[in-house]
């Protein structure tokens, strides 16, 4: 998750739209909350584990692509 926050900061410094930054941040938060809830309180909450992991990985992939896009443009 630290990598996702670092890439989010890089995107912010690169001038990425606030709407995109807030969307990525909310998706990351939702993914972490789902995954954490599934692991902490429920024995069989596969929905939370699956979607939490998918959201977190999805945010990482999107942020990586956006960072590469910024690097190519400069």
Number of domains within the chain: 1
- Domain containing 43: what range? 2-73
Token pair recorded at residue 20: 């995109």
Contacts of 63 (CB under 8 A, 6+ apart): 4, 7, 8, 11, 24
Token pair recorded at residue 62: 């999107």
Give 33-58 pLDDT, tens digit per residue. 998 888 887 677 788 888 999 999 99
In this prediction, residue 39 carries a pLDDT of: 81
- The whole-angstrom separation of Cα 50 and Cα 52 is 6
Q: Is the pTM of the predicted complex or chain greater than 0.85?
A: yes
Question: 12 with 21: CB under 8 angstroms?
Answer: yes
């Amino acid at each position: 998750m630290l990598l996702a926050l670092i890439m989010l900061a890089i995107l912010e410094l690169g001038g990425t739209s606030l709407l995109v930054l807030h969307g990525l941040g909310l998706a990351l938060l939702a993914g972490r909350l789902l995954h954490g809830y599934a692991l902490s309180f429920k024995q069989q909450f596969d929905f939370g584990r699956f979607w939490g992991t998918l959201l977190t990985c999805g945010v990482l992939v999107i942020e990586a692509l956006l960072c590469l896009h910024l690097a190519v443009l400069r």
